[in-house]
Amino acid sequence: MASIHLDRVSASFPIYSTRARSIRTRVMAATTGGRIRRDKRHSVVVRALDNVTLNIEHGDRVGLVGKNGAGKSTLLRVMAGVYEPSSGTVERSGRVAPLFSDKLGMDGENTGYENIIMRGLFLGFTREEMQDKIPEIAEFTELGDFLNMPTHTYSTGMLMRLAFAVSTCIEPEILLMDEGIGAGDAAFMKKADQRLENLVESSGVLVLASHSEALLRRMCSKAVFLDRGQVVHQGSLEDVLERYNETIAEN
Amino acid sequence: MSVSRSEPPASGGSGIEAPLHGETESQWLKAMDDLRDGAMEWRLWGTIAWQDLRNQYRRSVIGPFWMTLSMAILVIVLGLIWSKLLGSPRGQYMPYIALGFITWQLIQNMLQAGCKVFIAEREVIRQLPGPLSIHVFGLVWQQLIIFGHNIWVYVGVAIVYSIWPGMTALLALPGLFLVCINVFWMALLLGLISSRFRDIPQFIQSFIRPLFYLTPIIWSPDMLPGRAIFVDINPLYHLIEMVRSPLLGEVPAMQSYVFVLAIAVIGWAVTFAFFVRYRWRIAYWV
């Protein structure tokens, strides 16, 4: 059974820049982003997550909402095991497939096929297992001969197709997504949505950080509202969205 | 307003403070696991090392054999000039400088690339969970592959000057292993510190060339009047001796073995202490 339990998890980023002080004064007035403190050595620390306690159980489809810099991506990375929290504990059971934005952890010099294998190896599969999955993954991406080309020749949408196909074909028990699959075209989005829905039904846990209410409504049943690294509200998706929209309206 | 300047530990609001990370006993175990799991993932780092190397030579006709070729050019040109300058017979000097260059290249690459071992992989580290040590294992493996390409230059030189080191040459294998154990900790330590302090790569970079001249590679210690302290205590000299001497048909000095084993033990102890303490921070730092 897949589950993620976070107990009083905090994650803080030390800022080492010599201009940290001036950055601090600039950020002082901001309501966006994590909490900024000074630690014992008088350097500046951004608390991206502040005492977050969450229990995500098998079958939960959780949306993360919050402003830019509220800690959504950091929370996903903590859940994935990429970041170890500065304090608190994370317990996770189930195979994780992270699907974060940026370069998706691929080497642009490698071909599509090579990146499929590499990503699989990183996610705990053997080369042979991945080779068996290649036809299915290749078909889903619809990239055809492009899979023989280095991925730096790909567009963002094509990269997304590849990463999405790998992450979903390995039948993950925990799927962590940042901002959905924004770069896909309409046809692919539809296909991807369908696939996600199937996956969510069969697999354990989905955590999706997104600003798109439509996407959240389609994929999630529960939600967590993060603000400056703290959980402001959690519960059913409707409740949380209502609360979130109220907060936005107030500002 | 959410900016506070409270004295640490800053409590998150609930009153009960969760145990601080990085100071728990389990960090020791996690560091051990990282190294062990990293070693077990040899398929992964083996693939990364190969692909990385091959990508550098993609669309090149002779590919990775450029490494062999450029080493050969270096050895021939510098070997001929310096043997003349130093008045050493070529038959002795050419194999000496070839082995010196080839082993030095391994050490130098490990120091330079070691600084970037985590920084260069930031996309992967921030995207996919897994043991961090795989990047160091991959780097060592990659350098061994390069060494495997370069060593043919020595084979060529040995054939040209009809040198046969005899069975003593087999000592180069444990020698190379000892070199790897040492460059591993160096890369891990430098990589860790460099991901936090970005001046370290530049610092190392600016010392590489002086170190090259300070280490007996194009000259040999017996050219000096008497023993020089900067040779005796130079770890890089003793590391190179591990591989160079056996392939020249001489058993490395006991002093060199003692020195290399000593820096392996001390280096690993220091590196492991750092790794236990700061391993979890690397993902934040890169």
The domain ranges of chain B are 21-51+65-285
Query: Could you give the percent of chain A with pLDDT greater than 70?
Result: 84
Q: Which residue has the higher pLDDT, B241 or A21?
A: B241
pLDDT at B1 over 60: no
d(CA B237, CA B228): 12
CB of B13 within 8 Å of any CB in chain A? yes
pLDDT for res B22: 47
pLDDT at position B143, please?
A: 96
Instruction: Over range A77-104, report the average pLDDT.
Output: 83
Confidence of residue A203 (pLDDT cuts 50, 70, 90): low
Q: Are A46 and A35 within 8 A, CB to CB?
A: yes
* CB pairs A-B closer than 8 Å: 120
Q: Which residues of A touch B47 (CB under 8 A)?
A: 117-118, 121, 127
- All residues of chain B having their beta carbon less than 8 Å from the beta carbon of residue A150 are 58
Distance (Å, whole) CA A170 – CA A188: 19
Residue A145 reports pLDDT greater than 50: yes
Residue B23 has pLDDT above 80, yes or no: no
Mean pLDDT for B64-92 is 93
Query: How do strand A87-93 and strand A44-56 relate by DSSP bridges?
Result: unpaired
Q: How far apart are CA B44 and CA B37, in angstroms?
A: 11
For residue B14 the two structure tokens come to 């609930």
Position A13 scores a pLDDT of 82
Exposure of B284 in the CB half-sphere (CA atoms within 13 A) = 21
Report d(CA B144, CA A119) in Å as an integer: 24
- Asked if residue A169 has pLDDT above 80, the reply is yes
Gap between the Cα atoms of B161 and B37, Å rounded: 46
Average of per-residue pLDDT across A176-190 = 75
Task: State which fold the A3-95+171-250 domain adopts.
Answer: Rossmann fold (3.40.50)
pLDDT of residue A28: 53
A2-41 burial, b for 16+ CB within 10 Å, e for fewer? Answer: bbbebbbbbbbbbbeeeebeeebeebeeeeebbbbbbeee
Count how many residues are written for chain A: 251
| Confidence (pLDDT) at B147 | 96
Average pLDDT, stretch A35-63? 79
A30 band by pLDDT with thresholds 50, 70 and 90: low
Chain B residue with the nearest C-alpha to that of A15: B285
Per-residue model confidence (pLDDT) at position A201: 76
Name, of A190-199, A230-239, B121-130, B168-177, the range with top average pLDDT: B168-177
Tokens of B44: 């992964």
The residue in chain A having the minimum alpha-carbon distance to the alpha carbon of residue B282 is A83
The residue with tokens 């060494």 is B147
Report the candidate in A49, A3, A177, A70 with the shortest Cα–Cα distance to residue B127.
Answer: A177
pLDDT at B248 over 90: yes
Sign of CA dihedral A104, A106, A108, A112: negative
In angstroms, the separation between the Cα of residue B104 and the nearest Cα of chain A is 28
Residue-level pLDDT at A223: 93
How far apart are the C-alpha atoms of B236 and B108, rounded to whole Å?
Answer: 10
Look at the alpha carbons of A132, A135, A137, A143 in this order and tell me if their dihedral is positive or negative. positive
User: Is residue A187 scored above 90 in pLDDT?
Assistant: no
Average pLDDT over residues A17-32: 51
